[in-house]
Amino acid sequence: MTAKKSEADWAYEVLRSREEPMYYRDLVEAVLQLMNREITPRNMAAVYTQVNLDNRFTSSGDGYWSLKVR
């Protein structure tokens, strides 16, 4: 059985496929669409919080998020 992907896992997939920073709102909306969840302030805050707490991501400034270079 495979583990269910978290919001941060989906965000990682989106950013990895884009290969460039994304504006936070666009990233959050893309994740919610992939997860088939309604775009509401509460759901958006949940995704944003998960991305903010996950060490795979970094803020690129001006509201943009990208993957950390390893």
* Residue 65 confidence (pLDDT): 96
User: Looking at the 3D structure of the chain, how many domains does it have?
Assistant: 1
Residue 58 in domain = yes
User: Is residue 63 pLDDT above 80, yes or no?
Assistant: yes
Residue 30 in domain = yes
Residue 39 in domain = yes
What is the DSSP track for the chain?
-PPPPPHHHHHHHHHHHH-S-EEHHHHHHHHHHHTT----HHHHHHHHHHHHH-TTEEEEETTEEEEPP-
Residue 59 in domain = yes
Chain mean pLDDT for the chain: 93
Tell me the per-residue pLDDT of 31-56, one tens digit each, with 9 for 90 and over.
Answer: 999 999 999 999 999 999 999 999 99
User: Which range marks the domain in which residue 58 is found?
Assistant: 7-67
Residue 1 in domain = no
Rounded to two decimals, what is the model's pTM? 0.89
User: Is residue 1 pLDDT above 60, yes or no?
Assistant: no
Residue 2 in domain = no
